[in-house]
Amino acid sequence: MSGDVQLELWLHEYKMDALSSVLKEQGTTVEKRMQEMLTDLYVELVPYVVQQMIRASMGAEYAAAQAEKEAARKYTAFCARENGERSFFQLDRTEDILEVAKFLRRYLREEQGSGIAALQTSAFARMEPVTAERYDQLLALRMETPNKVTGVFDLDFDKQKVATVDAVDGWKTWSMQDVSAAVYHAYRKNYLRPEQYMSRLLERLEGRELTSAGHLSARDISFADEITEIDSLLDFTLKPTSMWTRCSARTSAPARTMIP
C-alpha cells in the first residue's frame, strides 16, 4: 500500500526561530503552514482529473487494506447471565474453553460476588459490550466460519452453568463446578503442550454434559417417525431429550409448529 513521502527542507536556525515565533502568535506552526502551502500547490498545479484518479486509487487501496485487516481478525463472543439479565460482549482475539475454564476456577475459588464484574476484570478484560443482535451474528459466523469466530460462550452465573458451541457438535453445557474441577485435573501434569491440556480438559468433561434449554444440539434431537409429504408440506415429529414437538414444514422453511 502506498503512503506519504517525507520532504526535507533546510532553513538557518535563526530564521527558523524567528518564523516559528511569528507563526506561534498566529496560532499555528511552521510544519502546519508548510503542509497547507504544499497542499495548495498540489491543488493548483495538478489537473483536476488526475486528482480524481489519485483520490480513487487511494480509496481503493484503503478499502483493500481494511478488508485484509478484517479478514485477519478473530473474534470471541460471550453472553453472561446474572440476576436474570443478559449482557453480551465481543473480544477481538482467539479464546477457547480452556481459557474460560481457568477463569471459572479462579472465580469460584475466590468466591467473587458479581460474575460479570469478575469477567470484565479477568484475562478477558479487553472485551467490549455489544448488542444481542451482534452476539447472534457472531454465533451464526461461528457455525458458518469457525476460523473467524473461534469461540462463543454462554456463562450463566445464576444457574452456575457454562455452554459453548461447536460448528459440528452444536452446543455443549456443563456445570461451572465440573469445568473448574476438570481444568484443575488437566493442569496437574506440568510441561505439556497447550493442545494436551485442552485434550485432558475435554476428556475430564466427557459424559458430564447437561441438557440446557435453548442449547440443544443435534445429538439431543431425533426423529420419532418417518418424514412424509402432505400437500407439499414435510410432516415429521422431532423427539428431543425432554419433550415431544410436532412440526410441519415446507422444504425451504417451517410453515407451522404445534406442540400437543
Instruction: Kindly list the domain boundaries of the chain, sorted by start residue.
Output: 13-71, 73-205, 218-258
The whole-number pLDDT of residue 224 equals: 60
Task: Name the phi and psi angles at 173, rounded to 5.
Answer: -125, 135
Q: How distant, in Å, are the alpha carbons of 4, 35, 157, 163, 187 from that of 53?
A: 17, 22, 56, 52, 59
Rounded CA separation 94/103 (Å): 15
**Structure-model confidence comparison of residues 120 and 257, the more confident one:** 120
Q: What is the pLDDT of residues 86-142, one digit of tens each?
A: 999 999 999 999 999 999 999 999 876 789 999 998 989 999 999 999 999 999 999
Mean pLDDT of all residues in 153-166? 95
Query: Which residues are 210's β-sheet partners?
Result: 173
User: 1-5, 23-27, 103-107: lowest mean pLDDT where?
Assistant: 1-5
* Burial status of residue 146 (CB atoms within 10 A of its CB: 0-12, 13-18, 19 or more): middle
Q: Across all residues in the chain, what is the average pLDDT? A: 85
Grid cell in block for residue 106: 479462579
Q: Cell numbers 526535507 label which residue?
A: 8
Could you tell me if residue 207 is left (phi over 0), alpha (psi between -120 and 50 degrees) or otherwise beta?
left
Mean pLDDT of all residues in 156-180? 93
User: How does residue 234 score in pLDDT terms, banded at 50, 70 and 90?
Assistant: low
Rounded CA separation 78/255 (Å): 32
How do 233-240 and 245-249 pair as beta strands? antiparallel
Rounded CA separation 136/127 (Å): 16
User: How does residue 157 score in pLDDT terms, banded at 50, 70 and 90?
Assistant: very high
Provide the b/e sequence for 81-107 (b: ≥16 CB within 10 Å). Answer: bbeeeebbbbbeeebebbbbbbbbbeb
Query: Which residues are 233's β-sheet partners?
Result: 230
Report the percent of the chain where pLDDT is more than 70. Answer: 81
CB atoms within 10 A of CB 256: 10
Longest dimension (CA), the chain: 94
**Structure-model confidence comparison of residues 48 and 257, the more confident one:** 48
Rounded CA separation 19/158 (Å): 67
